Amino acid sequence: MSVRTVKLAKHNRFKRNRLVRRILILLSLVISGCCLAIALTGITHQPAAQTLQVQNTKSQVSPDTKTEQKAASTPIATSQTPIADAQSEVPAEEQTVKTFSPPTQYQGKLVKNVKLSTKDKVVALTFDDGPWPNYTSQVLEILKKNDIKATFFWIGRMLKQHPEIAKQVVAQGHVVANHTWSHSYRWMNKAAAAREIDDTADLIYQTTGVKSLYFRPPGGILTNGVADYAKKKNYAVIMWSNDSIDYRRSAAKRLVNNVMRRINPTEIVLMHDGGGNRSATVKALPEIISRFKKLGYKFVTIPELLEMQQKQQKAKSSSQEKEVNSEEKDPNPSPINSVEQGVKSEEKDANSSPVNSEEQGVKSEEKDANSSPVNSEEQGVKSDEKDSNPSSIAPEPEASPAQGIQEIPDSQSPLPSPHSSTEQY
């Protein structure tokens, strides 16, 4: 084979390969163009129902209440379920607002130990750091079986994540309260504290329709600025008198012992339904309830407990006022007046005192001297003097031996006035 033939074969092979490459490139371009055309056709022919649904979603973003009512009244061919859900989260103006407000004397105050003057034994169960999936629902189920109402202190960010659990708590009649937005222990200025408390309060109202003026500081810390802001906003700052110490993740038996080892007639028990694994708390709760019931305790919420104390303090104050008024109007003499009356009585009856009795005895002896045989001559002389002087004083009548000592009547004896001890609560 000549050199010319070899070169010609190489040239033909090169032309053939170049033609194949061009064909492949052309096919790739055609396929890409077809795919692009199909994609553009799909977007252009989007269903009308989806477009309407997007418009409905945009209309829900507006915070204007009038706009929402107008949108709700306008008939739309597609489903209106998203709008209904949005309206259920924000309470309508027609809905009744449920308010948990402490008695006036506790607004802006720290409440730690509540002591009732009656013999009734009362316990308030409180749960912090919720709402929390799984554990809050289990706690609600236990409380429902025992017909007990409790107080739940919520964290704002947890409420935002689990609004349905929050609605369940309120629907079952429990009390809800503020536990800040982020459960932070750090020091905060006024603006930061306001965000922690006010944002949580707003979300509680938007989610459940409840306004609450009860607050518990995270960790019970009172010096980081949050509790001070809560007091200025007239929140009752609720602490506790009995700690289950369930934050240590102890066994259920240990939690029961923590609560029951030192109990007082009035208790505020701290437990947690959120903030982590609370399976031990859920397991210990039925036993804690059972033991309190066996000891005769009544279960109340925090508002009920403060109302009980307020009523008892009012009754006590009214009783003390009545005692003061009765002492002012009481005709019976007080101990001081009784002593004065006794002194006056002794002065008035001075003639019957032992000294006067001796004088009367002397005079009676002088009178009886006339009858003694020894002084018969003197009697004659005295009789002559008596006859000659008719104006002489007649002898005193004889005094009985009892006249020497006179007792003070019982009505004039000093009596101690009634005194009721005043207890401090």
Is 220's pLDDT higher than 60? Answer: yes
Give CA–CA dist 208/79, Å, rounded.
25
| CATH 3.20.20.370 at 99-313, yes or no | yes
The confidence band for 341, taking pLDDT boundaries of 50, 70 and 90, is low
- Provide the pLDDT for residue 328: 66
Give CA–CA dist 45/165, Å, rounded.
42
- Provide the pLDDT for residue 377: 41
Domain-by-domain residue ranges, the chain? 99-313
The confidence band for 276, taking pLDDT boundaries of 50, 70 and 90, is very high
Q: Are 303 and 403 in contact (CB under 8 A)?
A: no
Phi then psi for residue 417, to 5 deg, are -75, 150
Give CA–CA dist 189/225, Å, rounded.
6
Cα-to-chain-centroid distance, residue 111: 7
The confidence band for 184, taking pLDDT boundaries of 50, 70 and 90, is very high
Give CA–CA dist 165/159, Å, rounded.
8
The confidence band for 370, taking pLDDT boundaries of 50, 70 and 90, is very low
Q: What is the mean pLDDT of residues 347-362?
A: 47
Q: Residue 154: beta bridge partners?
A: 130, 178
- Provide the pLDDT for residue 294: 98
- The amino acid sitting at 377 is E
Is 393's pLDDT higher than 70? Answer: no
The confidence band for 236, taking pLDDT boundaries of 50, 70 and 90, is very high
**Pick from 4-8, 17-21, 76-80: least confident:** 76-80
Phi then psi for residue 123, to 5 deg, are -135, 135
Of residues 387 and 221, the one with the higher pLDDT is 221
Q: What is the mean pLDDT of residues 110-125?
A: 89
Q: What is the mean pLDDT of residues 118-147?
A: 96
- Provide the pLDDT for residue 172: 98
DSSP 119-175: S-EEEEEEEEEE--TTHHHHHHHHHHHTT---EEEE-HHHHHH-HHHHHHHHHTT-E
Q: Residue 177: beta bridge partners?
A: 153
Q: Are 151 and 127 in contact (CB under 8 A)?
A: yes
DSSP 176-192: EEE--SS---S---HHH
- Provide the pLDDT for residue 378: 45
Q: Name the average pLDDT for the chain.
A: 75
128 is catalytic: yes
The catalytically annotated residue of 128, 129, 246, 273 is: 128
Closest CA relative to residue 264, chosen from 291, 288, 242, 287: 242
Give CA–CA dist 288/125, Å, rounded.
10
The catalytically annotated residue of 174, 246, 272, 273 is: 272
Sign, Cα dihedral of 297, 299, 301, 304: negative
pLDDT digits (tens, 9 = 90+) for 80-112: 333 334 334 444 444 578 999 999 999 999 999
Q: Among 53-62, 206-215, 364-373, 410-419, which range has the highest average pLDDT?
A: 206-215
Tokens of 178: 């503020």
- Provide the pLDDT for residue 272: 98
Q: What is the mean pLDDT of residues 195-209?
A: 98
- Provide the pLDDT for residue 17: 85
Tokens of 71: 């949108």
199 is catalytic: no
Q: What is the mean pLDDT of residues 198-202?
A: 99
Give CA–CA dist 249/280, Å, rounded.
7
Q: Are 125 and 299 in contact (CB under 8 A)?
A: yes
Is 331's pLDDT higher than 90? Answer: no
**Beta pairing, strands 266-272 & 175-178:** unpaired
Q: What angle do CA 199, 211, 303 make, to 5 degrees?
A: 125
Q: Are 271 and 265 in contact (CB under 8 A)?
A: no
Give CA–CA dist 29/52, Å, rounded.
37
- The amino acid sitting at 83 is I
Q: What is the mean pLDDT of residues 285-294?
A: 98
The confidence band for 39, taking pLDDT boundaries of 50, 70 and 90, is low
Closest CA relative to residue 167, chosen from 139, 206, 196, 199: 206
